[in-house]
A and B are shown apart, each in its own frame.
Chain A
């Protein structure tokens, strides 16, 4: 029996955001937007979903006089991401 894939992570943009955040301390909104090539509106919506699930933390602040939104992955997010990758590997090894 295959493990169930986390539906929250099984979306292109949310998975891209989680993949970036899994490898860094934190990343700001502008950086995530540039890396994922998503629109600001869509990215905001997906970040909200990940925040509500407790997978990421969002901090609003300022860099100089400019507003800055910073995102970082939470331990729960890290765990969910690892489980998701493990599940994907199982799917792939079974299909070989």
Chain B
């Protein structure tokens, strides 16, 4: 091998595995995006047509269903390694999940608070950070708009319609996953 060929081989192998890893992360964005879209729409419709806000308890089924399904998805996938970016993406969304579940539980059982407002902001932050890690401007801007726009919307709209912010958030995650799949094809 010449020096040129060696460097080309290094660069190709490195890029190929990097693309593989980030394409592997894309399916989790799509999975959680689909689950969030379906859950938020279902709760919105149930609340809207019955007039009962108690349907919000269904939010707790999302992690109960989502985490085992995500584990199953990981188990059935071909073993794709982790790199620094995929690990950081996982960490950002794990922290978001921990905050979202804990704050929701506190709001329901201990101290009432404007959960939609808080979760929209931290979800926007997590999405923004994902965009920074992936060096992708559309994801950064999408996360920023979700966080800031969602916060304003949550303050202005107090009816069940504010749940539609999460539907938008779910769609944004689906779009993020699709962008990643295309970007790292």
Contacts and interface: CB of A to CB of B under 8 A. Distances in A.
Interface residues of B, number: 22
Given A91-B3, A92-B4, A92-B7, A31 B13 contact: no
Interface stretch (B75-83, B108-116, B147-155): B75-83
Sorting the interface of chain A by its residue count into under 10, 10 to 19, 20 to 34 or 35 or more gives: 20 to 34
Chain B CB within 10 A, most for which of A16, A23, A63: A23
B80 A92 contact: no
Contacts of B20: 35
B48 interface: no
Contacts of B80: 31
A19 B14 CA distance: 6
Given A10-B1, A31-B81, A23 B6 contact: no
Contact of B6 (A15, A26, A95): A15
Given A10-B1, A92-B4, A15 B9 contact: yes
A64 B4 CA distance: 42
A25 B83 contact: yes
A10 B83 CA distance: 25
B81 A25 contact: yes
B21 interface: yes
B3 A12 contact: no
A80 interface: no
B21 A24 contact: yes
A19 B10 contact: yes
The 10 closest A-B pairs by CB, nearest first: A19-B13, A24-B81, A91-B3, A27-B81, A19-B10, A88-B3, A16-B13, A28-B79, A20-B17, A24-B83
Given A11-B1, A19-B9, 10 more contacts: A15-B6, A15-B9, A20-B16, A24-B21, A24-B82, A26-B81, A27-B81, A31-B81, A35-B17, A88-B3
Interface of B: 1, 3-4, 6-7, 9-10, 13-14, 16-18, 20-21, 75, 78-83, 87
7 contacts: A15-B9, A20-B17, A22-B14, A30-B79, A34-B78, A35-B13, A88-B6
